[in-house]
Amino acid sequence: MNIHERQQDGQPPQTQSTQPGVESKMDPAPVHPTDYIGAGKLKGKVALITGGDSGIGKAVAIAFAAEGAHIIINYLDEDEDAEETKALVEERGGKALLMKGDVSSEDFCKTLVQKAVDEFGQLDILVNNAAKQFPQKSLEDITAEQWDLTYKTNIYPIFYLSKFALPHLKQGSSIINTTSVTTYMGNEELIDYASTKGAIVGFTRSLAQNVAPKGIRVNMVAPGPIWTPLIPATFDKEHVEEFGVGTPLGRPGQPRDLVGAYVLFASEDGAYMTGQCIHVNGGMLMSS
């Protein structure tokens, strides 16, 4: 697939029954940075990536490994996708540790960070990427249970993991959070999801100021419509078919499109950047 090609008809209509979805069932498959050539920018670093089995997390894991990092891949229950990502990391010379579990649990988040440190002896980069969304036509359709689940999945783990990771991070370490274009533009069917992503913006900018004296940087990436398993797992066939084609660049983003931003924030190339957001959205909005 040529990721630069404008799409007139979008993707083939498709859905999946549960989220966060399975990448191996998607048609077409998302484009990953398997051609990425590293330059040693993360040599000797250890990165923990939530939602690292597929989509954006998988792409970041591949690129980080190509840059010399070892990776802890957290995922919920997508074993096949996770094993494939592990193999791609190892093909690029990185060590990969799979950690299956739900990051909405504070206890699991504590275990996840400790296991990373026990396995590799250090932790340098935390990528908070896992998320869920439940489109609804009306605010009245959002139950209290859905609201709580969206918040407990999308923002609570960023608090938990950042808190538990901080004692192990040092000068030059980096926390990178995945927010969304929805918090800047709004989305009529993703009210709870967009609000969690807005919370991530405030959290990122505030934590960045709090830990700046320690030389730890905290930044975020705001993806636009990216072709990941979350899309067919949460939208109907008609929405999937037209997904992303209305952007100025005329196509949905691919996980491959995101990795430059994450590598920049994780590496010394971004050493003078903290509390910042990079928008990767096909031209939908140019604002911080």
Structure tokens at 81: 């996708």
Q: What letter represents residue 114's amino acid?
A: Q
Q: Give tens-digit pLDDT for 175-213.
A: 999 999 999 999 999 999 999 999 999 999 999 999 999
Mapped onto helix, strand or coil, the DSSP state of residue 218 is strand
pLDDT, tens digit (0-9, with 9 covering 90-100), for 94-110: 999 999 999 999 999 99
Percent of the chain with pLDDT over 90: 78
Check pLDDT > 70 for residue 1: no
Average pLDDT of every residue of the chain? 92
User: How many whole angstroms separate alpha carbon 146 and alpha carbon 24?
Assistant: 27
Query: Could you read off the pLDDT of 35-77 as tens digits, one per residue?
Result: 999 999 999 999 999 999 999 999 999 999 999 999 999 999 8
195-to-180, 185, 202 alpha-carbon distances in Å: 10, 11, 11
How far is 14 from 6, CA to CA, in rounded Å? 20
Count how many residues are written for the chain. Answer: 288
User: Residue 238's pLDDT is what?
Assistant: 74
Give tens-digit pLDDT for 7-30: 656 677 878 777 777 887 888 888
**Three-state DSSP class for residue 203:** helix
Question: Which pLDDT tens digit goes with each residue over 216-269?
Answer: 999 999 999 998 877 787 777 777 777 778 899 999 899 999 999 999 999 999
Whether the predicted pLDDT of 123 surpasses 70: yes
Per-residue pLDDT band for 126 (boundaries 50, 70, 90) equals very high
Going from N- to C-terminal start, the domains of the chain cover 23-280
Residues 6+ apart with CB under 8 A from 206: none
Task: Report pLDDT for 20.
Answer: 76
Amino acid found at 140: E
Pick among 3.40.50.720, 3.20.20.150, 3.30.360.10, 3.30.70.260: CATH of 23-280: 3.40.50.720
Q: Which residues pair with 278 in a beta bridge?
A: 221
Cα dihedral sign, 192-223-243-187: positive
Which of 160, 184, 193, 262 is catalytic? The answer is 193
Element (H, E) at 222: strand 217-223
Residues 45, 125: contact at Cβ < 8 Å?
yes
At 9 the pLDDT is 62
Please confirm whether the linkage preceding 28 is cis (ω < 30° from 0).
Answer: yes
Predicted pLDDT at 288? 54
Residue 287 clears pLDDT 60, i.e. is over it: no
The yes-or-no answer on residue 193 being catalytic is yes
